[in-house]
Structure 1
Amino acid sequence: METLKVGSLTLTWLNGGVTNMDGGAMFGVVPKPLWSRKYAHNDKNQIELRTDPIFFQLEGKNILIESGIGNGRLTDKQRRNYGVEEESKVEACLQQMGLTPEDIDLVLMTHMHFDHALGLTKQINEKLTPAFPNAVIYTSEVEWEEMRHPNIRSKNTYWKENWEAIEHQVKTYKSECEPVKGVKMIHTGGHSSGHSIITVKNGNECLIHMADLMPTHAHQNVLWVLAYDDYPMDSIAAKQKWLPKGMAKGAWFLFYHDAVYRAVKWDENGEMIDFVKREKNTAK
């Protein structure tokens, strides 16, 4: 498990599983000769996308960002279509740190698409139950509303199986909230109507989780947005705001999906000046 120490804060990436999604969809209108220079693809034109939750402790709370893809939550057809080669080992990762899923106090969900939300529940005796039974699950009010009432497009990613069992744990907010001091969830829209980013301040250090507005380091260009984005111009506007702001502050940018980097720091010219690389041969 890779870690990043920033001030008094330690972030740890847990193994939440992996998908392989179509590269063209993940880079939208960007031509393949351009995006393929920055991110590897397989012979099916798929790119590797981790689904690895980020764990940290702050203000006496055990906190997760995102939840992974869980175990046994997908059919054989879905595993094939989404290129799932590995499912979640979050419980085993927590055990290595001397913790259990019951010890998680907060789960911060930037949005509730299936590849972020599947890990919120698990099967026990053929019944879906909360994977983190004592946690408060934060997501934006807009996202929670669409999760439960998807439209003709979003119903492919908002599944009732991903919210019915955890409905009593969910706490929503309108524009932003601060679940614990120094951690903010800020509604941006873009990738989904209710999509949010997460910022963390610790001393003079700043961390920004752009979530699916910038799912990998290769999406740094503000115009490189996903074909999956419901509101691409809102994605671009959010990137135009937060990327320069973060770079000017020397912020760490955190990733949930990136198969190469866990976190990256860029200077004001967009040049990479520090990083935490994913160790692909790490024990799983």
Structure 2
Amino acid sequence: MEALMIGKITLTWLQGGENNLDGGAMFGVVPKALWSKKYDVNEKNQIRLRADPILIQTGGKNILIESGLGKGKLTEKQKRNFGVNEESSVDESLNKLGLTSLDIDIILMTHMHFDHASGLTTIEGGRVVSAFKNAKIIVTDVEWEEMRNPNIRSKNTYWKENWEAIAKQVVPFTGEIQVVDGVKMYHTGGHSDGHAVVVIESDGETLVHMGDLLPTHAHQNVLWVMAYDDYPMTSIEQKQTWLSFAMKQGAWLSFYHDAIYRALKWNHSGEITEQLTIKK
């Protein structure tokens, strides 16, 4: 498992699963001739995407960003439609670190789409139950409302089996929230109406986790947004804001979906100056 230190804060990427989605959907109106130069595509026009939660360890707290694809919850049809070739092994990743799901104190959800939220619950005795029974689950109030009351478009990704069992654990916030010292969340909208980013700061070092505003390194261009984005102009505006912030701070940018990089730094010319790649 890859790890990164941001000052005194440790980040470790867990194994949350992998799926393959249509490249055209992932890059929206950008022509394949352009995006395929930056990210590999298979014969089905699909690109590889990870769904790997990040474990943050600071101040005696174990905090997750996102929850993975889950295990044993997706039907064969869903696996086929979403190109899932690897389900979550978050529990196994935690065990390697001497932890269990009961040791997770807080989960930060940038948003609640199925590929981020399916790992919040698990199947026990034929029932859907919380996978992290001791954790507070932090999400924007806007996202939590839509999760429970999706519209005609979003009902395809906001599933009741991903929220009903954890409802009492959810802590919604409005605008921004300081989770613990050095870890904040900010409501951005864009990809979803309630989407948020996570900012980690310690000892003069900074990391920005932009969630699905920046799903892969190939989405660096602020105009390259997904067809999955509900509010693409908001995504563009927020990418401008947070990429500018990251570059001014000399900050790391971390990924949940990227199949090549865990995190990287870009300079003002858009060149990679530091990187943490996924080990083969």
Q: Is the 8 A contact 2:55 2:65 kept in 1?
A: yes
TM-superposed CA distance for 1:252, in Å, is 0.3
Q: Distance between the aligned counterparts of 2:13 and 2:187, measured in 1? A: 23
Partner residue in 2 for 1:242: 242
Q: Distance between the aligned counterparts of 1:203 and 1:267, measured in 2? A: 21
Partner residue in 1 for 2:205: 205
Moved >6 Å (runs of 4+) = none
Look up the SS of the partner of 2:247 in the other structure: helix
Partner residue in 2 for 1:264: 264
1:54 matches 2:61: no
What are the equivalent positions in structure 2 for 1:57-68 lying under 5 Å apart?
A: 57-68=57-68
**CA-to-partner distance for each residue in 1:133-177, whole Å, 9 max, x for gaps?**
000000000000000000000000001111000000000001010
TM-superposed CA distance for 1:88, in Å, is 0.6
Identical counterparts, % of pairs: 62
CA-atom RMSD in angstroms: 0.6
Q: Which stretch of the first structure deviates more once superposed, 254-263 or 2-11?
A: 2-11
Q: Distance between the aligned counterparts of 2:9 and 2:193, measured in 1? A: 31
1:177 matches 2:177: yes
Q: TM-score, normalised by structure 2?
A: 0.99
Q: In the comparison of the two structures, how many residue pairs are matched?
A: 280
Letter paired with 1:154: S
Q: Distance between the aligned counterparts of 1:44 and 1:178, measured in 2? A: 43
Q: Is the 8 A contact 1:247 1:270 kept in 2?
A: no
Partner residue in 2 for 1:75: 75
Partner residue in 2 for 1:30: 30
TM-superposed CA distance for 1:235, in Å, is 0.1
TM-superposed CA distance for 1:6, in Å, is 2.4
TM-superposed CA distance for 1:41, in Å, is 0.8
Q: Is the 8 A contact 2:8 2:58 kept in 1?
A: no
Look up the SS of the partner of 1:165 in the other structure: helix
Letter paired with 2:46: Q
Q: Distance between the aligned counterparts of 2:146 and 2:10, measured in 1? A: 33
Q: Distance between the aligned counterparts of 1:64 and 1:162, measured in 2? A: 16
TM-superposed CA distance for 1:9, in Å, is 1.9
Q: Distance between the aligned counterparts of 1:162 and 1:25, measured in 2? A: 24
Partner residue in 2 for 1:123: 123
1:9 matches 2:6: no
Q: Which stretch of the first structure deviates more once superposed, 223-232 or 54-63?
A: 54-63
Q: Distance between the aligned counterparts of 1:37 and 1:10, measured in 2? A: 33
Q: Distance between the aligned counterparts of 1:211 and 1:61, measured in 2? A: 21
Q: Distance between the aligned counterparts of 1:143 and 1:8, measured in 2? A: 31
TM-superposed CA distance for 1:112, in Å, is 0.1
List gaps (5 residues or longer) in structure 2. none
Look up the SS of the partner of 2:207 in the other structure: strand
**CA-to-partner distance for each residue in 1:100-127, whole Å, 9 max, x for gaps?**
0000000000000000000000000110
TM-superposed CA distance for 1:244, in Å, is 1.3
TM-superposed CA distance for 1:201, in Å, is 0.4
Q: TM-score, normalised by structure 1?
A: 0.98
1:187 matches 2:198: no
Look up the SS of the partner of 1:83 in the other structure: coil
Q: Distance between the aligned counterparts of 2:29 and 2:274, measured in 1? A: 29
Q: Distance between the aligned counterparts of 1:88 and 1:78, measured in 2? A: 15
Letter paired with 1:252: W
Q: Distance between the aligned counterparts of 2:6 and 2:141, measured in 1? A: 30
Q: Which stretch of the first structure deviates more once superposed, 264-273 or 114-123?
A: 264-273
1:42 matches 2:4: no
Q: Distance between the aligned counterparts of 2:203 and 2:185, measured in 1? A: 18
